[in-house]
Structure 1
Amino acid sequence: MGCCGGPRLWIGCLVTSLLRSDAVKVTVRDRSLEVVRGDSVLLPCSFRTMSPLSRLNIVWTLAPLSDPGSPFQVIVYDHGQVIENPSLIGRVGFVSVPWTADIILNSTRVSDAGTYRCVVNNPPEPGDPGIGELRLDVLAPPSLPQCLWEGDADVGGTVTLSCSVEGGVPAPEMRWDKLEPEQISLPLNMEGTMKSTVCIANISAQNSGLYRCSVSNPLGTQNCYIHLSVYSPPDPSPGILQGVLLSLSMALVLLALLALVLWLHRSGRDRKWKEGEEEECYNEIRYTPTLVRRSFV
Structure 2
Amino acid sequence: MKSNVKNMLRVLSGLMLVLVMAAGAAIAQQPTPTPKKSDAKKAEPKAETTSAQTGEDAGDYTITSSIEFGYRGLRVDGDLNKYKSDLNYKAGPRLFDSSFLMRSKDGKGGLFDTLLVTSSGWGADPYGQMRILAEKPKWYRFEGSYRKFKYFRFLNNIANPNWIFSPTTFSRPPNPVTGEHGFNTRTQLGDFDLTILPKNETIRFTVGYSPERYSGPAYTSYHQGGNEFMFLSNLKSQANDFRLGADGKGGPIDFSFQQGFRRFRDDSSINLGATPGINLNPAVASFTTFNRTEPTRTNVNYTTFSA
* Higher normalized strand content (fraction of residues): 2
TM over 0.5: no
Q: TM-score, normalised by structure 1?
A: 0.22
Structure with higher Rg: it is 1
Q: TM-score, normalised by structure 2?
A: 0.21
* Higher normalized helix content (fraction of residues): 1
